[in-house]
């Protein structure tokens, strides 16, 4: 290894010790230098940085930001980097790409290479492929094809008569009606909206309209429902079933609206001990229409797997809230898809179509064809004008820190504030309101042997944490609760299993059909007398012996990320630690998990700072589809 390369790896080791690079990032750079011994230090540095970007949720490394990225290192390490790379012109090269031209490890993607440069963004080859596959699959949806209906082929007058049977609101615009019209016209579409805007109600109605149209052509359509987690799939199933009850339509149509949602892993057919799926480009899903809820949780690799498994005839509808947290893994797919310059602005062709079918009028024509596939529900039917949760979510989503605190401290019946800082509050002060929130569940833990009732009781209250570690973190809160149970004899100190223990699956287990995010409660099986953990899947309760569970953890408290796709009657949100991952999307997601009551426990100053920060993930997907 050359001297400059050795110096670079000494530097990377120091950066890793500062936890600003991971071991795998450094090892990737080491692997590259073994493959390409002539690599210069700057290229090796880039390889480590782009690998690290994935851990931060970014799909790529924006070359214009390399100097800023290194600038966050401790000053001494920045100085060392500058000295090692002084002969490379690294700061200037980061902007104009001088050092990435004609290098074997970096290519344009036309040939296999470890890294790809595309539009001044640096990718690992695999993630560049994911991004290109997603963009390519979504983009043809705006191009009329002989085997698909498009706006020109639809009769807006006929559609109006269909919509009139489902949407009777006199309000203009009726966003739910507009969403139904848009999804009817396109092979791919998105319905985005906040809590209570009627996303699932709208989908149920548009499914009925779609089924009616297909039956009139002599077809019985196959429709699939899916969501990223078991909890989200169960909620989708419940919501669709509840919405169907309210529809006065022929039984033949009603029977074809599915009620059972699956996890995306089950839908695609996850293989044991493999990242591959049964359904893929060579073996596509058997579906005429696929609806996926909670789309904000879908990362880029999973979206690539989804679109790869769709046939050319399959329609895809994504449902979600673009303002929620992005996926845990790399990418912000729903956010990129919804990166529309102006909300509710469409092409003239689609505007004319919506004017006839929905009475929709717009003042400005969009120059982006992709905008025609997006529908934004803007009216909340859950939160009234007097709802504190609704007002708080709105203020947070707008990045208004002053208004957010004002709402929290205002006179709202559904909001409560318990102010505390990490260095002034003790364990008992944290534990007391949590035990009060779980009081009804705890009182039934040793008495109730009906797992369905226990699950219902457990969902009434939930503690959400911004962080995993620290005095206000998930690990410490769950530990405190179980230590309390030991003191009160609810839990045996020598046995981690006890009646009422709630757990969350943290690793997928395909043979057991248990997936990351699934929540179960522990109680005895009345038939066998064995202690089991019970999960609700597709409306069915099933028990699993603790010894057969995949990786899991106690879940009296969970991170906000893990709560996505779930709703609870009452949410207590703990926030007393500041970190760059605490931002307005995280706060907004925590608030909108609550249906009836929201309690903030923590430092209002940290909340104010977090509301002004927004998640920004490096990606080229938006540029590819919004070109």
Beta bridge partners of 107: 116
Is 290:311 a contact under the CB 8 Å cutoff? no
Helices (H), 338-422: 348-358, 388-397, 401-408
Q: How many residues does the chain have?
A: 627
Burial category of 7 from C-beta neighbours within 10 Å (exposed 0-12, middle 13-18, buried 19 and up): middle
Paired strand residues for 480: none
Q: Which residues contact 371 (CB under 8 A, 6 or more apart)?
A: 340, 345, 346, 347
Low-confidence winner among 36-45, 167-176, 215-224, 338-347 (lowest mean pLDDT): 338-347
- Give the torsion through C-alpha atoms of 387, 393, 398, 399, to 10 deg: 120
Whether 627 is in a domain gets the answer no
Taking the CB of residue 15, how many other CB atoms lie within 10 A of it? Answer: 22
- State residue 150's pLDDT score: 43
β-pair partners for 273: none
Residues in Cβ contact with 357 at an 8 Å cutoff, skipping those fewer than 6 apart:
156, 157, 159, 160, 163, 181
Is 67 contained in some domain?
yes
Cβ pair 70, 1 in contact under 8 A: no
Are 95 and 157 part of one and the same domain? no
- In this structure, what are the phi and psi dihedrals at residue 387, rounded to the nearest 5 degrees? -80, 120
Who has greater pLDDT, 554 or 148? Answer: 554
CA 389 from chain center: how many Å? 21
pLDDT surpassing 50 at residue 541: yes
CATH code for the domain in which residue 394 is found: 3.40.50.300
Cα(164)–Cα(169) distance, rounded to whole angstroms? 9
Q: Point out which residues pair with 290 in neighbouring strands.
A: 224, 316
Residue reference for tokens 């050319």: 312
pLDDT tops 60 at residue 500: yes
> Tell me: the pLDDT tens digits for 407-448?
999 989 999 999 888 777 888 888 999 999 999 998 888 777
Residues 374 and 407 in one domain: no
In the structure, what pLDDT confidence band is assigned to residue 147 with cuts at 50, 70 and 90?
Answer: very low
Answer yes or no: do 341 and 432 share one domain: no
In tens, the pLDDT along 604-615 reads 999 999 999 888
Residues 338 and 471 in one domain: no
Number of folded domains that form the chain: 3
DSSP 271: P
Q: Residue 87 has what pLDDT?
A: 56
Query: Which range marks the domain in which residue 246 is found?
Result: 143-382
CA distance 414 to 388: 6
For residues 371 and 401, state if they share a domain: no
pLDDT value for 80: 84
581 against 245, higher pLDDT: 245
Examine the pLDDT at 290 and tell me if it is beyond 50.
Answer: yes
**Residue at a domain's end among 128, 159, 178:** 128
Whether 119 and 154 map to the same domain: the answer is no
- Tens digit of pLDDT for each residue in 314-344? 999 999 998 888 888 888 899 999 887 656 6
Q: What is the CATH number of the domain that holds 12?
A: 1.10.10.1020
Averaged pLDDT, 132-151 = 62
What is the chain's Cα-based Rg? Answer: 26
Last-in-domain residue among 382, 405, 422: 382
Q: Are 423 and 470 in contact (CB under 8 A)?
A: no
Considering the domain architecture, whether residues 165 and 82 belong to the same structural domain is answered as: no
pLDDT one-digit tens code per residue, 570-579? 999 999 877 7
Residue 63 resides in a domain: yes
pLDDT value at residue 286: 93
Predicted confidence (pLDDT) at residue 95 exceeds the cutoff of 90: no
Greatest extent of the chain over all pairs of C-alpha atoms, in Å: 78
- DSSP calls for 179-199: HHHHHHH-SEEEEEE-TTS-H
Q: Is residue 625, in this structure, part of any structural domain at all?
A: no
Confirm whether 138 is domain-assigned.
Answer: no
Choosing from 357, 382, 407, the residue where a domain stops is: 382
Q: Does the pLDDT at position 101 exceed 60?
A: no
Does residue 399 lie within any of the structural domains?
Answer: yes
Report CA-CA distances (Å) from 68 to 40, 74, 591: 20, 12, 33
User: What three-state secondary structure class fits 262?
Assistant: strand
What pLDDT sits at residue 99?
A: 45
> Which residues lie below 8 Å from residue 451, measured CB to CB, with a gap of 6+?
521, 523, 534, 541, 543
Q: Is residue 137 part of a domain?
A: no
Which pLDDT score, from 0 to 100, does residue 448 have?
73
Q: What are the backbone angles phi and psi of residue 490, rounded to the nearest 5°?
A: -70, -35
If asked whether residues 423 and 359 sit together in one domain, one would say no
Residue 619 belongs to some domain of the structure: no
| Residue 145 pLDDT > 80 | no
- Dig out the tokens for 218 from the structure: 């002599």
pLDDT at position 438: 92
Mean pLDDT computed over 238-267: 89
Same domain, 419 and 555: yes
Question: What is the arithmetic mean of pLDDT over 456-474?
Answer: 91
Averaged pLDDT of the chain? 86
Instruction: Tell me: pLDDT of 185 over 80.
Output: yes
pLDDT band at 592 (very low <50, low <70, confident <90, very high): very high
Question: What is the per-residue DSSP string for 91-149?
Answer: HHHHHH-GGGTT-TTEE-SSS--SEEEETTEEEEHHHHHHHHHHHHHHGGGGS--TTS-
Better pLDDT: 154 or 206: 206
* Cβ contact 201:176 at 8 Å: yes
- Asked if residue 572 and residue 485 are part of one domain, the reply reads yes
Is pLDDT of 97 > 50? no
């Amino acid at each position: 290894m050359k001297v400059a390369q050795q110096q670079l790896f000494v530097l990377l080791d120091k950066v890793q010790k500062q936890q600003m690079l991971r071991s795998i990032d450094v090892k990737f750079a080491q692997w590259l230098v073994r493959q390409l011994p002539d690599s210069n230090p700057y290229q090796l540095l880039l390889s480590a940085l782009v690998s690290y970007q994935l851990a931060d949720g970014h799909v790529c490394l924006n070359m214009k930001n390399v100097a800023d990225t290194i600038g966050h290192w401790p000053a001494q390490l920045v100085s060392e980097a500058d000295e090692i790379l002084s002969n490379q012109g690294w700061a200037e090269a980061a902007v104009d790409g001088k050092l990435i031209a004609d290098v074997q490890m970096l290519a344009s993607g036309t040939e296999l290479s470890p890294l790809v440069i595309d539009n001044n963004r640096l990718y690992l080859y695999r993630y560049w492929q994911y991004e290109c596959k997603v963009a390519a699959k979504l983009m043809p949806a705006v191009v009329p094809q002989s085997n698909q209906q498009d706006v020109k082929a639809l009769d807006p007058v006929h559609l109006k008569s269909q919509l009139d049977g489902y949407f009777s609101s006199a309000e203009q615009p009726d966003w739910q009606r507009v969403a139904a019209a848009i999804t009817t016209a396109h092979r791919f579409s998105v319905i985005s909206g906040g809590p209570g805007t009627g996303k699932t109600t709208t989908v149920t109605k548009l499914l009925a309209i779609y089924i009616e149209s297909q039956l009139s052509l002599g077809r019985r359509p196959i429709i699939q429902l899916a969501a990223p987690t078991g909890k989200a799939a169960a909620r989708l199933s419940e919501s669709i079933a509840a919405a169907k009850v309210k529809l006065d339509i022929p039984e033949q149509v009603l029977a074809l609206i599915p009620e059972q949602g699956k996890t995306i892993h089950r839908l695609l057919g996850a293989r044991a001990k493999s990242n591959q799926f049964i359904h893929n480009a060579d073996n596509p899903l058997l579906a005429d229409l696929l609806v996926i809820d909670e789309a904000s949780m879908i990362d880029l690799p999973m979206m690539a797997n989804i679109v790869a498994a769709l046939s050319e005839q399959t329609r895809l509808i994504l449902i979600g809230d673009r303002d929620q947290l992005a996926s845990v893994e790399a990418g912000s797919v729903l956010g990129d898809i919804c990166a529309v310059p102006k909300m509710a602005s469409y092409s003239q062709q689609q505007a004319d179509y919506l004017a006839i079918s929905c009475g929709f009028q717009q003042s400005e024509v969009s120059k982006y064809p992709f905008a025609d596939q997006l529908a934004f529900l803007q009216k909340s039917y859950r939160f009234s004008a007097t709802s504190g949760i609704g007002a708080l979510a709105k203020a947070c989503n707008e990045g208004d820190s002053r208004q957010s605190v004002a709402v929290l401290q205002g006179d709202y019946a559904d909001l409560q504030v318990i102010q505390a800082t990490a260095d002034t509050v003790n364990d008992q002060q944290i534990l007391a309101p949590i035990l009060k929130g779980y009081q009804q569940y705890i009182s039934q833990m040793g008495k109730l042997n009906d797992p369905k009732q226990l699950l219902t009781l457990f969902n009434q209250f939930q503690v959400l944490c911004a962080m995993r570690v620290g005095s206000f973190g998930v690990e410490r809160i769950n530990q405190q609760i179980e230590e309390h149970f030991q003191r009160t004899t609810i839990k045996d100190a020598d046995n981690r299993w006890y009646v009422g223990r709630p757990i969350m699956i943290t690793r997928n287990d395909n043979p057991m059909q248990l997936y990351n995010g699934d929540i179960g409660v522990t109680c005895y099986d009345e038939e066998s007398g064995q202690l089991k953990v019970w999960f609700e899947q597709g409306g069915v309760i099933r028990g699993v012996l603790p010894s057969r569970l995949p990786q899991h953890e106690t879940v009296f408290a969970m991170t906000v990320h893990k709560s996505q796709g779930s709703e609870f009657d009452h949410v207590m949100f703990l926030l007393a630690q500041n970190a760059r991952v605490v931002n307005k999307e995280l706060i907004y997601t925590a608030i909108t998990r609550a249906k009836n009551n929201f309690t903030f426990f923590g430092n209002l100053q940290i909340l104010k700072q977090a509301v002004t920060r927004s998640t920004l993930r490096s990606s080229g997907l938006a540029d590819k589809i919004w070109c």
